[in-house]
């Protein structure tokens, strides 16, 4: 038997040339086989197509089979319990839509909540949904940690077969931060992946995390060093002081400022002691008042400790230096030196020392204390600075960003303070406060928010003026408030925007309620 004759490469090239230039400018190639010779050339255009068909068949018929691909080993077994069938159907809905589902919110915004709940319960996903989930997480980095954990062994087995899923091998779980690909990831990974890896390692082994950062510190870019330093907040201790003290001499002012802020959270650090000495010079307790003498200059030692000469906020220089000193000093300094608690210190009047310059420093002092309370995570000072929610007609501004102070308090106390604020002031100034509360919101806070929405609708305000809070309520309101929201929808005139808003919110709460119940 003779071997099959393949169409010569130049025949195929001649046909392509005739097709591109036209048969009136490029003649058809001469026939080399009986089949090609039998083609009717009366119509050159038709003949070109026939000759191409003959050549294509010959090329395919004469092709030799490729070597067999070795079958890969199967994915490792996943011992986790299977996801309940109803929950699997819900996940398919969440993964398969970008917009709303009937009268509910954007389902893509509910996917993170579903993934976190499913991961907490330790389920194994149906294999058919794993590729879709990995595709979704590729485009949404905030989903990757939960997605990789839920995909489990199958996800890691699939990842090498699709370049779009290479992030899977770089997303280390809490259980394998010490294993490969950790070292390789630190050396070759993307910046965001390296930060994530360092943060997780600091949570489980702070010393190993510090050693990893120190191993490449001198070669890192200044902007990257700042964010790497931020990662040291997890597991921060006196063991990090020498590294951070050295960073105070970094050539980048942002690195120096970040290192100084971290050191100021360590009450026993040398920097905290230096700030305490400056604070004692700036504020003197005299019986029933506080005498303030802000720094007259920002010397080299202050600059090394992270205090810039120029204020980035446009404040006066002395006020800026004074606030930085107070924010960097240990809060225990004030209570130890005076024998007074935070509430008593805050109640004392503030007066200028003889050389104080004639300015009023009380607000600067309180804001410095507030920054220190957030930095040092001191709940007693945060509680004193927040006080009770301001009454109507009073200044609602709390020095030092109340949302940040709230985040220092335990979750239940945080929610109770915010609920009282919403009951008094409504939702207009509550967006950041609500964002500081743990989700889902407690029933009392959820009830306060629903009542505030009802008042807003009755006053005739427009829903879009509360769009930020409304978007948050869809994800954070306790699902148990669904009947109350449904009652609002029923009591609202159907031709108003609030009717659609309440109907949508009620539908979302019912959706979330069913979604979470299916995972039980």
Q: What is the 3-state secondary structure (H, E, C) of 53-75?
A: HHHHHHHHHCCCCCCCCCCCCCC
Averaged pLDDT, 282-296: 90
When pLDDT is cut at 50, 70 and 90, the band that residue 173 belongs to is low
- Residue 99 is predicted with a pLDDT of 46
Q: Give the CA count within 13 Å in the CB-facing half-sphere of 360.
A: 3
Give the pLDDT confidence of 323-354 residue by residue, as tens digits.
999 999 999 999 999 999 999 999 998 887 55
- Residue 1 is predicted with a pLDDT of 41
CB 434 within 8 A of CB 406: no
Task: Tell me how far apart the alpha carbons of residues 56 and 467 are, in angstroms, rounded to a whole number.
Answer: 61
Q: What are the DSSP E strand ranges found in 261-318?
A: 283-286, 289-292
* Integer angstrom CA distances of residue 178 from 211, 439, 477: 13, 31, 38
When pLDDT is cut at 50, 70 and 90, the band that residue 149 belongs to is very high
- Which two three-digit tokens encode residue 34? 């009986």
CB 7 within 8 A of CB 59: yes
How distant is the alpha carbon of residue 490 from its chain centre?
37
pLDDT above 90 coverage of the chain, percent: 54
Task: Tell me how far apart the alpha carbons of residues 125 and 82 are, in angstroms, rounded to a whole number.
Answer: 6
- Concatenating the DSSP letter of every residue in 169-187 gives HH---GGGTTSTTHHHHHH
Report the sign of the C-alpha dihedral through residues 143, 149, 154, 159, in that order. positive
Whether pLDDT at 254 is above 80: yes
Give the pLDDT confidence of 193-211 residue by residue, as tens digits.
788 889 889 988 999 999 9
Give the pLDDT confidence of 429-471 residue by residue, as tens digits.
899 999 999 989 999 999 999 999 999 888 888 877 788 888 8
How open is the CA angle 343-345-350, to the nearest 5 degrees?
A: 135
CB 303 within 8 A of CB 363: no
Map residue 408 onto helix, strand or coil. coil
Map residue 285 onto helix, strand or coil. strand
Map residue 459 onto helix, strand or coil. coil
Whether pLDDT at 379 is above 80: yes
Give the pLDDT confidence of 114-143 residue by residue, as tens digits.
999 999 999 999 999 999 999 999 988 889
List the beta bridge partners of residue 106: 100
- Residue 9 is predicted with a pLDDT of 52
Q: Which residue has the higher pLDDT, 518 or 141?
A: 518
- Which two three-digit tokens encode residue 310? 């120029």
Task: Tell me how far apart the alpha carbons of residues 402 and 142 are, in angstroms, rounded to a whole number.
Answer: 26
Give the pLDDT confidence of 77-96 residue by residue, as tens digits.
999 999 999 999 999 999 98
Average pLDDT, the chain: 86
* Greatest Cα pair distance in the chain: 116
The separation between the first and the last C-alpha atoms of the chain, rounded to the nearest angstrom, is 69
pTM over 0.85? The answer is no
List the beta bridge partners of residue 284: 291
Report the sign of the C-alpha dihedral through residues 217, 223, 226, 230, in that order. negative
Residues in the chain: 520
Whether pLDDT at 357 is above 70: no
Burial class, 171, CB count within 10 angstroms (exposed 0-12 / middle 13-18 / buried 19+): buried
Give the pLDDT confidence of 49-73 residue by residue, as tens digits.
888 888 888 777 777 777 888 888 8
Phi then psi for residue 400, to 5 deg, are: 90, 20
Q: Which alpha helices (H) appear in 293-442, and where do they start and end? A: 300-304, 317-328, 332-338, 342-347, 362-376, 379-386, 402-406, 411-425, 431-435
When pLDDT is cut at 50, 70 and 90, the band that residue 314 belongs to is confident
CB 232 within 8 A of CB 213: yes
What is the edge-to-edge ordering of all strands in the sheet holding 350-352? 283-286, 289-292, 350-352
CA nearest to 199, candidates 233, 158, 168:
233
**Long-range contacts of 18-22, Cβ-Cβ distance < 8 Å, separation of 24 or more:** 18/48, 19/48, 19/52
Task: Tell me how far apart the alpha carbons of residues 175 and 154 are, in angstroms, rounded to a whole number.
Answer: 17
* Integer angstrom CA distances of residue 484 from 69, 324, 449, 459, 489: 61, 47, 11, 19, 9
């Amino acid at each position: 038997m003779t071997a099959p004759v393949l169409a010569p490469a130049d025949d195929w090239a001649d046909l392509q040339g005739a097709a591109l230039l036209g048969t009136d400018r490029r003649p058809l190639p001469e026939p080399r086989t009986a089949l090609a010779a039998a083609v009717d050339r009366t119509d050159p255009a038709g003949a070109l197509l026939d000759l191409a068909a003959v050549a294509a068949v010959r090329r395919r018929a004469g092709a030799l089979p490729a070597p067999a691909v070795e079958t890969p080993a199967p994915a490792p077994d996943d011992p986790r319990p299977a996801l309940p069938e109803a929950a699997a159907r819900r996940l398919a809905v969440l993964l398969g839509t970008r917009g709303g589902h009937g009268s509910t919110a954007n389902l893509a915004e509910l996917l993170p909540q579903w993934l976190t709940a499913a991961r907490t319960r330790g389920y194994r996903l149906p294999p058919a949904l794993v590729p879709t989930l990995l595709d979704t997480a590729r485009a949404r980095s905030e989903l990757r940690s939960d997605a990789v954990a839920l995909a489990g062994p199958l996800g890691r087995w699939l990842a090498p077969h699709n370049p779009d899923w290479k992030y899977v091998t770089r997303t280390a779980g809490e259980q394998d931060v010490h294993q490969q690909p950790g070292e390789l990831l630190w050396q070759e990974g993307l910046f965001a992946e390296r930060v994530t890896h360092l943060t997780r390692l600091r949570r489980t082994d702070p010393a190993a995390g510090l050693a990893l950062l120190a191993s490449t510190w001198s070669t890192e870019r200044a902007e990257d060093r700042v964010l790497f330093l931020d990662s040291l907040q997890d597991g921060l201790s006196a063991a990090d002081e020498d590294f951070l003290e050295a960073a105070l001499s970094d050539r980048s002012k942002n690195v120096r400022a970040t290192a100084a802020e971290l050191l100021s959270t360590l009450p026993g650090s040398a920097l905290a002691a230096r700030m305490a000495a400056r604070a004692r010079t700036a504020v003197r307790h005299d019986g029933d008042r506080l005498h303030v003498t802000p720094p007259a200059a920002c010397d080299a030692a202050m600059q090394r400790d992270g205090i810039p000469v120029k204020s980035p906020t446009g404040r006066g220089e002395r006020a800026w230096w004074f606030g930085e000193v107070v924010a960097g000093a240990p809060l225990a300094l004030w209570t130890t030196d005076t024998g007074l608690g935070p509430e008593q210190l805050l109640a004392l009047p503030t007066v200028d020392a003889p050389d104080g310059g004639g300015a009023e420093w009380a607000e600067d002092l309180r804001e410095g204390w507030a920054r220190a309370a957030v930095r040092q995570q001191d709940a007693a000072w945060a509680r004193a600075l927040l006080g009770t929610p301001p009454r109507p007609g009073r200044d609602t501004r709390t020095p030092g960003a109340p949302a940040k102070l709230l985040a220092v308090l335990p979750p239940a106390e945080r929610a109770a303070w915010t609920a009282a604020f919403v009951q008094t002031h409504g939702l207009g100034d509550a967006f950041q406060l609500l964002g500081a509360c743990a989700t889902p919101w407690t029933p009392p806070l959820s009830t306060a928010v629903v009542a505030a929405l009802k008042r807003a609708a009755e006053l005739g305000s427009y829903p879009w003026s509360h769009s930020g809070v409304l978007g948050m309520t869809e994800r954070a309101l306790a699902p148990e408030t669904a009947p109350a929201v449904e009652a609002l929808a029923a009591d609202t005139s159907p031709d108003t925007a609030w009717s659609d808003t309440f109907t949508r919110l009620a539908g979302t709460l019912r959706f979330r309620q069913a979604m979470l119940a299916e995972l039980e």
